[in-house]
């Protein structure tokens, strides 16, 4: 892994046009993914994870648009590139994408090898024979018998389809693979098999991976760095070990406390009442305010800026007005905040 | 436990589905082999107890629950509810049974009628079961599932509720008829972690504080300790391991249970968990003949495994169906063909006996 940023996102705001007005799905998000890095993005359903990465791929739904910010890939601004340029230069051969629910994204009427050859034709200079040889190697990497590249998708189980899609994503040797919830519909054993192959890819091929998931355990186990999102805002971004051991944002802290751990089957799980707001118009406050045990009036008056968690650390950022208090309390283990499962006030915002 | 008679007892239950025979089969008069979705399942559930049924997709969990509730005719075996075989039930008995046994489904997003408000959903349930004092009951049950202040929720439609709130309404609908047994099929698997904990707590309160019994189905062992007293792990229609929850979680003995446990990601950036070594997926339980159903994936497979393993008691409260633990198996030398050293047979059996104390 090198420190050169491969992907940089700066002050990104993404909105969808809706009947009620402009819905802000991502608000002022900033982070960077380095070369060879395994980067995780966690947050609950609706927090803007998919929107964030669709905007990186310039593949937002037609009613969505980037209203502010810059997306840089290998130093080049890509947010305004044309479809044609994206297809020729970026998609698949630089950035490959594994969509959410992707098990169903293979064309059922075409052999998988045919789909690979088509991709190669569109996005690379490989001829058919080269493409097939290459694709067989990819099947090897994801643990499927290379002879089966000529199968139709329906001949594969769900987990195999998922791996075939990972093989397609790897195929043109992209520098970055973005995977949106690649294992969410799968059982634990299948999930673990797939992550084993992804680990392999990171080790052997050196591709950067951006993994989107709601499962904080998967990110803690596998990734180098991570971002925690809440209600369209980046709550915290930094090395996985830091966010695990020294979280500064209340949401990062509570998310960990809510997550079951098979090693401690009797630990109390915390509850985060309510859900993130649906934000029409600009987000001009902290979107965690109605669920946050540390919230004060200040948190409603402006969005908290994403700042260094500690002055002497350039790799860990937090957006919380009270990050120092939160940190202190976490450290002392004292808990003068409200009990997390006390429902006072929070239900009112839970529309 | 208040009496010796279990609330629910299942003996050797089998549910085979006929495969949709294709037209060619029909012309050739060829019978297709049945799907052995549930194959010889037995357990007892006492009052105020909860049993977790665990396994991967396709292992027969949903079929089991649907057979228990009377949606399928069992292929063979017995289901005794309060001591009476349900196959002898008359119409009135079924009506009573359908009130006393309620279900909660996996998908809170589809379980509720989108046109009915919370009040109407609950009212409908009371009408079906001819229960009076509807208004009071509706209010009480909403308090109980913590949808309060009640007036805020009564007139909401499902689309105005979050996933967790919808699941609370599903639970309220089950609870309002004062059931004795709740069958819950993956009730938290579609919820975000932030709400999952609250629903787990609510389910466990029902058992501890309201005297309900529960069968809780899940493919995920990480939440069972919050709800289940007993566990039973299924693989392709059969129970491979069963016992008290903490015993099964702390001392898993079946290679499949071990695999399920070891595949769970650990929320700790420093934990060094090995990824699973298990290949493939469970196949379909069709025409699989004799032998251990796990044998094509099992790291500990031996020659003996071509014979179906019986269920062996490691203690009064811990059973496993695996030849590694067949202490008294007449096939003789167990270690001869074992491919893996990490489960030393003698050692695991004695550890199992130690499990008695738990
Ligand atoms: N109506 C049916 N007709 C034929 N086969 C069926 C039917 N329903 C289920 N099966 C088969 O029975 C087996 C058990 O299915 P079941 O739905 O009970 O599994 P499950 O554990 O609930 O899986 P999941 O977690 O995916 O829902 C599978 O092989 C399935 O394909
Ligand atoms: N095409 C769309 N039109 C309007 N709103 C949308 C659209 N797609 C997503 N949203 C909204 O944007 C927010 C973020 O959604 P999404 O990025 O899909 O979240 P996640 O992937 O974290 O579940 C949600 O409030 C969602 O309802
Ligand atoms: S303390 Fe304020 S700024 Fe920090 S997370 Fe809570 S609501 Fe947001
Ligand atoms: S009986 Fe044999 S194949 Fe089956 S789980 Fe035990 S060791 Fe493995
Ligand atoms: Mg999404
Ligand atoms: Mg099921």
Cβ contact B226–A221 (<8 Å)? no
List the single residue in A45, A189, A199 with the smallest CB-CB distance to B192: A45
pLDDT at B352: 32
Please give the distance, rounded to the nearest whole angstrom, from the Cα atom of residue B291 to the centre of ligand 4: 9
- pLDDT tens-digit readout, B136-184: 999 999 998 888 889 989 999 998 887 888 889 999 999 999 999 999 9
CB A140 within 8 A of CB A146: yes
Ligand 3 and A322: CB distance under 6 A: yes
> Above 50 in pLDDT, residue B338?
no
Please give the distance, rounded to the nearest whole angstrom, from the Cα atom of residue B17 to the centre of ligand 1: 9
3-class secondary structure, B40: strand
Task: Say how many CA atoms lie within 13 Å of A203 toward its Cβ.
Answer: 8
Q: Which atom from ligand 4 is nearest to the alpha carbon of B338?
A: 7
Residues of A in contact with B246 (CB under 8 A): 265
**Chain B contact present for A195, CB below 8 A:** yes
| Domains in chain B: boundaries | 247-358
List the single residue in A243, A245, A259 with the smallest CB-CB distance to B193: A259
Ligand 4 and B99: CB distance under 6 A: no
How many CB atoms are located within 10 Å of the residue B211 CB?
A: 12
Query: Which residues make Cβ contacts (< 8 Å) with residue A39, sequence separation at least 6?
Result: A31, A33, A208, A209, A210, A211, A223, A224, A225, A226, A227
Cβ contact A221–B193 (<8 Å)? no
Ligand nearest to the CA of A254: 3
Smallest CA-to-CA distance from A270 within B305, B198, B94, B67 is with B198
Strands B35-45 and B50-54: unpaired
Please give the distance, rounded to the nearest whole angstrom, from the Cα atom of residue A3 to the centre of ligand 1: 49
Q: Could you identify the residue written with the tokens 């520098």?
A: A175
User: What is the value of ipTM here, to two decimals?
Assistant: 0.84
Alpha-carbon distance values, B78 to A60, A113, B67, B68, B167 (Å): 55, 50, 11, 10, 32
**Among chain A residues, CA nearest to B284:** A157
Beta bridge partners of B225: none
Q: Which CATH number does the domain A1-94+177-189+206-351 belong to among 2.120.10.30, 3.40.50.300, 3.90.1300.10, 3.20.20.80?
A: 3.40.50.300
- pLDDT tens-digit readout, B99-117: 999 999 877 778 899 999 9
Cβ contact A270–B192 (<8 Å)? no
Tell me which of A338-342, B33-37, B291-295 is least confident: A338-342
Does the predicted model carry a pTM greater than 0.90?
no
CA of B191 vs chain A CAs: smallest distance (Å) = 9
Beta bridge partners of B217: B53, B185
**Among chain A residues, CA nearest to B59:** A187
d(CA A165, CA A105): 8
Task: Say how many CA atoms lie within 13 Å of B190 toward its Cβ.
Answer: 17
Tell me which of A28-42, A265-279, B35-49 is least confident: A265-279
State the DSSP string of B303-333: GGGGSPPPPEEEETTEEE--GGG-TT-TT--
**Among chain A residues, CA nearest to B219:** A187
* Distinct helix (H) and strand (E) counts, chain B: 10, 12
Ligand 1 and B214: CB distance under 6 A: no
- pLDDT tens-digit readout, A149-167: 999 998 887 778 888 998 9
d(CA A3, CA A5): 6
Ligand 4 and B302: CB distance under 6 A: yes
pLDDT at A221: 94
Cβ contact B266–A159 (<8 Å)? no
d(CA B17, CA B239): 18
- pLDDT tens-digit readout, A296-335: 999 999 999 999 999 999 999 999 999 999 988 888 864 4
Q: Which residues line ligand 2 (CB under 6 A)?
A: A 16, 18, 23, 25, 43, 45-51, 61, 63-64, 278
- pLDDT tens-digit readout, A262-294: 999 889 998 898 878 888 999 999 999 999 999
| Domains in chain A: boundaries | 1-94+177-189+206-351, 104-173
Mutate to test the pocket of ligand 1, among B35, B72, B260 (most ligand atoms within 8 A of CB): B35
CA B296 centroid distance within chain: 24
């Amino acid at each position: 892994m090198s420190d050169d940023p491969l992907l940089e996102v700066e002050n990104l705001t993404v909105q969808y046009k809706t009947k009620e007005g402009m819905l802000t799905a991502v608000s002022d998000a900033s982070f960077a993914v380095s070369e060879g890095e395994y980067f995780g993005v966690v947050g609950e359903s609706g927090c803007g994870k998919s929107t964030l990465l669709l905007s990186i791929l310039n593949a937002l739904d037609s009613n969505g648009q980037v209203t502010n910010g810059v997306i840089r890939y290998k130093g080049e601004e890509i947010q305004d590139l044309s479809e044609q340029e994206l297809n020729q230069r970026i998609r698949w051969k630089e950035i490959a994408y594994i969509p959410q629910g992707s098990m169903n994204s293979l064309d059922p009427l075409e052999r998988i090898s045919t789909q690979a050859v088509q991709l190669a034709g569109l996005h690379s200079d490989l001829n058919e024979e080269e493409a097939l040889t290459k694709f067989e190697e990819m099947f090897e990497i994801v643990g499927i018998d290379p002879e089966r590249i000529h199968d139709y998708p329906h001949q594969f189980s769900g987990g195999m389809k998922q791996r075939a899609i990972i093989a397609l994503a790897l195929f043109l040797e992209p520098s970055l693979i973005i995977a949106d919830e690649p294992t969410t519909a799968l059982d634990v054993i299948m999930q673990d098999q797939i992550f084993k192959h992804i680990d392999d890819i990171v080790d052997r091929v050196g591709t950067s991976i951006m993994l989107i998931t709601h499962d904080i355990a998967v990110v803690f186990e596998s990734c180098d760095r991570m971002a925690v999102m809440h209600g369209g805002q980046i709550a915290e971004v930094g090395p996985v070990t830091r966010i695990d051991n020294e979280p500064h944002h209340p949401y990062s802290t509570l998310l960990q406390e809510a997550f079951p751990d098979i090693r401690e089957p009797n630990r109390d799980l915390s509850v985060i009442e309510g859900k993130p707001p649906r934000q029409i118009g600009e987000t001009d406050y902290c979107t965690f305010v109605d669920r946050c045990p540390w919230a004060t009036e200040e948190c409603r008056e402006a969005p908290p800026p994403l700042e260094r968690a500690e002055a002497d650390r350039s790799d860990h950022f937090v957006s919380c007005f009270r990050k120092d208090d939160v940190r202190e309390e976490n450290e002392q283990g004292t808990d003068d905040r409200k009990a997390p499962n006390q429902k006072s006030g929070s239900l009112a915002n839970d529309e | 436990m208040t009496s010796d008679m279990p609330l629910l007892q299942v003996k050797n239950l089998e549910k085979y589905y006929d495969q949709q025979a294709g037209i060619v089969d029909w012309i050739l008069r060829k019978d297709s082999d049945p799907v052995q979705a549930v194959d010889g399942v037995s357990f007892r559930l006492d009052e105020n107890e909860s049993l977790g049924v665990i396994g991967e997709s396709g292992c027969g969990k949903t079929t089991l629950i649907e057979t228990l509730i009377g949606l399928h005719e069992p292929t063979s075996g017995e289901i005794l509810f309060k001591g009476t075989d349900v196959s002898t039930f008359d119409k009135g008995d079924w009506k009573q049974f359908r009130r006393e046994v309620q279900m909660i489904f996996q998908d809170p997003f589809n379980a509720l009628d989108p046109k009915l408000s919370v009040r109407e959903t609950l009212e409908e349930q009371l009408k079906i079961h001819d229960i009076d004092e509807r208004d009071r009951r509706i209010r009480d049950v909403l308090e109980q599932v913590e949808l309060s202040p009640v007036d805020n929720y009564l007139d909401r439609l499902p689309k105005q509720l979050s996933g967790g709130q919808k699941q609370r309404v599903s639970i309220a609908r089950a609870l309002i008829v004062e059931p004795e047994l709740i069958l819950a099929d993956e009730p938290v698997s579609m919820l975000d972690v932030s709400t999952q904990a609250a629903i787990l707590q609510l389910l466990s309160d029902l058992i501890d504080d309201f005297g309900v019994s529960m069968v809780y189905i899940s493919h995920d062992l990480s939440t069972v300790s919050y709800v289940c007293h007993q566990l039973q792990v299924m693989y392709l229609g059969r129970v491979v391991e069963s016992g008290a929850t903490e015993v099964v979680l702390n001392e898993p003995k079946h290679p499949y249970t071990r695999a399920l446990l070891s595949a769970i990601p650990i929320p700790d950036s420093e934990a060094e968990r090995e990824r699973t070594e298990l290949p493939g997926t469970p196949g379909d339980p069709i025409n699989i003949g004799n032998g251990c159903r796990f044998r094509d994936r099992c790291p500990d497979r031996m020659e003996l495994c071509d014979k179906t393993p019986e269920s062996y008691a490691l203690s009064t409260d811990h059973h496993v169906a695996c030849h590694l633990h067949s202490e008294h198996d007449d096939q003789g030398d167990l270690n001869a063909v074992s491919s893996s050293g990490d489960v030393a047979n003698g050692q695991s059996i004695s550890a199992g006996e130690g499990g008695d104390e738990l």
